[in-house]
Structure 1
Amino acid sequence: MASLAARVFRAPMATVTLVDDEWVRCCAAHGTPAQTRPVRRAVSLSAAAAGHDGVLVIPDTGADPRAEADPMVGGVPGARFYAAAPIDTPDGHRLGSVNVMDVHPRQPGAEELDALRDLAALVANELELRLAAARVVAAERQMRADAERLARILQRTLLPPALPQVPGLSAAAAYHPYSADEVGGDFYDLFPLDGNRWGFFLGDVCGKGADAAVLTSLVRYTLRAAAVYDPDPCRVLANLDAVLQQEHAGGAPSPYCTAVFGVLEPATDGFAVTLAGGGHPPALVVRADGGVEALRTEGGQLIGILREPRFVQVSTRLRAGDAMLLYTDGLTEARTEAGSRLDEEGLAAYLAPAAPADADDLLAEVHKLIGSLGEGVSDDTAVLALSVPPARRSQPLRSLGAA
């Protein structure tokens, strides 16, 4: 715009300046590269233009006292002619001016002054567009920040604030969101049952956002309530399936989920584990000796979407130094650097060197793994780790005569 103004006037110099209470700032210049630094309002001709009604014309700056202190006049380049059209917003706010200068005194023509007014109006429109765009960007950033904050709050309400302490067992859980502003449907819990038994579950509902949050809340409540009534893992999943089937009995879209539900019962050598799965990836047991076993519930079907689904139950024991990891498919469906899925075999191979590992160790390994996968991760991941502490080695007794 400054170049166009200079061309219209056939002048060597032109600027576009913005004026505030103290400073005049040049935001575009033609022929004056050294004069782009801010100038005090008190000494700038642009301030005089901002206070002038209409186009300000000074045919000879040497004969006008308003120009004496302006560095463009008193210093290099020694401007002798000055003309400026104000930049006004539609609501009447004056932002600055479009300025044209020459090193020789002159008298501009009417067409030149009209063109200068038009250029100032174009600058005002451009500034309004940029301001509007900045406002939109700021509003979108604020909306995203609000959405992220609400998502974090809502996500926390869908997960237990802390896992209970189970005598003789270590437990740890973590949730790794894929999107900061969208609520996921991954869930987990660990809670007491009758006597000295404990229930646990982990799963993933369909969808994202508010609908997934509502469904997750329903699933967690139903699993806990069903387990208190009858903790048999297959019957717990069957009860959950019945509730979800009822949710879409009126023809609404079918809500469904995958889940693993299990029961822990203390044993003389650790814990007996019985679990059932419905369409969910197998839990992995990391043995103290470094072996990794997949607890596959072969044939276990999705929960809530099929008529008379089949659920499968398996059992194992967690002994001293053993650990078990439950996870959602956001982990095993992540892509490696080679472009292939991590899958259960890849996860098992990654965890094997961590043995013997406690629950916190397993979660730390999973955290490192997710970090290393980077952009290969495309979904939320929830993990629940349970471990039995290693047996303590007894210290040999010293002989009475030992020094």
Structure 2
Amino acid sequence: MMCRTNEAHDPDGEPDVDATDAAFTSLLEHSTEELYEQAPCGYLSTMMDGTIAKINATLLGWLGLERSRVVGRMRFTDLLTVGGKLYHETHFAPMLQMKGEINGIALDIKAAGGQRMPVLVTSKVKTSESGEPMLIRTSVFDAHDRRAYETELLRSRQAAEEARRQAESDRERLQEALAVLQQNLLPATLPDVPGLEAASYYHTASPDLLGGDFYDLFPLDTERWAFFLGDVCGKGPQAAAVTSLTRYTLRAAALHDSDPVNVLTTLNTVLHERYTSGDTRYCTAIFGVLHPGSDHVEVHLASGGHPSALIQRADGSADYLATPGGMLVGVLPKAEFADARTQLYPGDTLLLYTDGLTEARIGPDRALYGEDALYAFTADQSAEGPQALITALTGLLAGFGEGLDDDTALLALGVPAPLPTPFRLPRVKT
């Protein structure tokens, strides 16, 4: 079977190369023109004054205009919205003149039906062989999808920012509520005790969690005062509930029987019975009684698994009031507690603290601060009374920075030193 082709032939039957090249060139020119007119983006060429010299069918379709109304009759800026014209005059045109090209500029054109159409515009100046500018070639890309993506992205960012602000607001409200609850677990102020000075400080490790440290100072009768300080295991609402129960139990037990060992024994019974099943809760605590005398204050205290109290003496020395063998409060149905006695004379201060102080981490190796360091620090301070010692310890805690990761309660009780007698020059008789 014989096949026919469209290939041109010369009289001798050989293919006519010139005719083939001419046909291909014609087809290529036709395809190039069609590609320009029907391209997926808009094309236009303008004179240097902005007058449109050529525009493709795609862009005309977006604009809803006839070619005859555009070519030679309109400028590029006539296709833009008011905002686009302003941006073209102030930014687009000056940058194009200075650089000779400008890429990916977001503008809005006046599309068919009076709608705004978001586009991305790229322009380049064509120059003559001598470098003189001749015309401006511009490509216009439909940016509907990109604008929609940017709008959705902006909405997402706005929603995320609103959620972040709401979360911060919720956290602030939570912190305020926790701060109020924490304050209700501590005395608002320490009472004035005749012949004594008292000072306290509470460091909260995290504003987002309720701590379990507690302290108090209150009268037993007209002559004696009771004090306590301790630390409930754990943090949060459950620890706060144990703290509240502990404080009220200690106060009530002391009014019934003020012996420190008996007070801690009562607390141990209450905690063990309350939390004997399920989540075991316990605490460490020191409870004591102050009995002011004529020239000193008698101190009788007992400890349940708590760090020993530290005494700063008026002569500049310091020593721990040891209470070995005191057991944790609330773990066992029957617990042994250690008691101790001492006297405070003018200038002496009794310091009670929770283990957040001694278990703070210091140095590059994050070693425990420890009781020896606390002893040395206290002995190095001038014996100026409870408030001066608490102030010094507050500065110490602040210096620990991130190494102080637990709540810390401080309570200092002391006998004021007598004021020095003013020196007076003897009166000279004249």
- Specify the TM-score bucket, using the shorter chain as the normaliser: 0.7 to 0.9
Match of 1:317 in 2: 343
In structure 2, the CA distance between the partners of 1:127 and 1:272, relative to structure 1 (3 Å rule), is same
Match of 1:355 in 2: 382
In structure 2, the CA distance between the partners of 1:177 and 1:63, relative to structure 1 (3 Å rule), is closer
Please give the alpha-carbon distance, in whole angstroms, between the structure 2 residues aligned to 1:194 and 1:135.
Answer: 57
In structure 2, the CA distance between the partners of 1:364 and 1:123, relative to structure 1 (3 Å rule), is same
Match of 2:5 in 1: none
Task: Provide TM-score, normalisation by structure 1.
Answer: 0.77
In structure 2, the CA distance between the partners of 1:399 and 1:139, relative to structure 1 (3 Å rule), is closer
Please give the alpha-carbon distance, in whole angstroms, between the structure 2 residues aligned to 1:288 and 1:83.
Answer: 79
Match of 2:322 among 270, 273, 296: 296
Deviations along 1:244-270, one digit per CA (max 9) or x if unpaired, are: 011123x22111100000000012221
Match of 2:219 in 1: 192
Match of 1:262 in 2: 288
Match of 2:414 among 383, 387, 399: 387
Please give the alpha-carbon distance, in whole angstroms, between the structure 2 residues aligned to 1:379 and 1:152.
Answer: 16
Match of 1:374 among 374, 397, 401: 401
- Of 132-141 and 327-336, deviating more is 132-141
Match of 1:72 in 2: 91
Contact map agreement 2:121 2:139 (CA 8 A) in 1: no
Deviations along 1:317-356, one digit per CA (max 9) or x if unpaired, are: 0001100110000001001225221111111111112131
In structure 2, the CA distance between the partners of 1:400 and 1:316, relative to structure 1 (3 Å rule), is same
> Unpaired segments of 5 or more residues in structure 2?
1-39, 44-60, 65-69, 110-116, 125-134
Q: Counterpart of 1:212 in structure 2: which amino acid?
A: A
Measured after TM superposition, the shift of residue 56 of structure 1 is: 7.1
Please give the alpha-carbon distance, in whole angstroms, between the structure 1 residues aligned to 2:368 and 2:239.
Answer: 25
Match of 1:331 among 357, 362, 366: 357
Match of 1:102 in 2: 123
Please give the alpha-carbon distance, in whole angstroms, between the structure 2 residues aligned to 1:296 and 1:55.
Answer: 92
Contact map agreement 1:55 1:85 (CA 8 A) in 2: no
Q: Counterpart of 2:253 in structure 1: which amino acid?
A: A
Contact map agreement 1:175 1:382 (CA 8 A) in 2: yes
In structure 2, the CA distance between the partners of 1:400 and 1:226, relative to structure 1 (3 Å rule), is same
Please give the alpha-carbon distance, in whole angstroms, between the structure 2 residues aligned to 1:158 and 1:195.
Answer: 25
- Of 379-388 and 100-109, deviating more is 100-109
Match of 1:136 among 163, 167, 170: 163
In structure 2, the CA distance between the partners of 1:400 and 1:80, relative to structure 1 (3 Å rule), is closer
Measured after TM superposition, the shift of residue 209 of structure 1 is: 1.2
Please give the alpha-carbon distance, in whole angstroms, between the structure 2 residues aligned to 1:182 and 1:122.
Answer: 41
- Of 57-66 and 236-245, deviating more is 57-66
Tell me how large the CA RMSD over aligned residues is: 3.2
Measured after TM superposition, the shift of residue 100 of structure 1 is: 2.4
Please give the alpha-carbon distance, in whole angstroms, between the structure 2 residues aligned to 1:332 and 1:83.
Answer: 63
Q: Name the SS for the 2:367 alignment partner.
A: coil
Contact map agreement 2:122 2:138 (CA 8 A) in 1: no
> Unpaired segments of 5 or more residues in structure 1?
1-7, 12-53, 87-95
Task: Provide TM-score, normalisation by structure 2.
Answer: 0.72
Q: Name the SS for the 1:304 alignment partner.
A: coil
Match of 1:93 in 2: none
- Of 382-391 and 334-343, deviating more is 334-343
Q: Name the SS for the 1:326 alignment partner.
A: strand
Measured after TM superposition, the shift of residue 75 of structure 1 is: 3.8
Q: Name the SS for the 1:171 alignment partner.
A: strand
Q: Name the SS for the 1:77 alignment partner.
A: helix
Match of 1:17 in 2: none
Rg: which structure is higher? 2
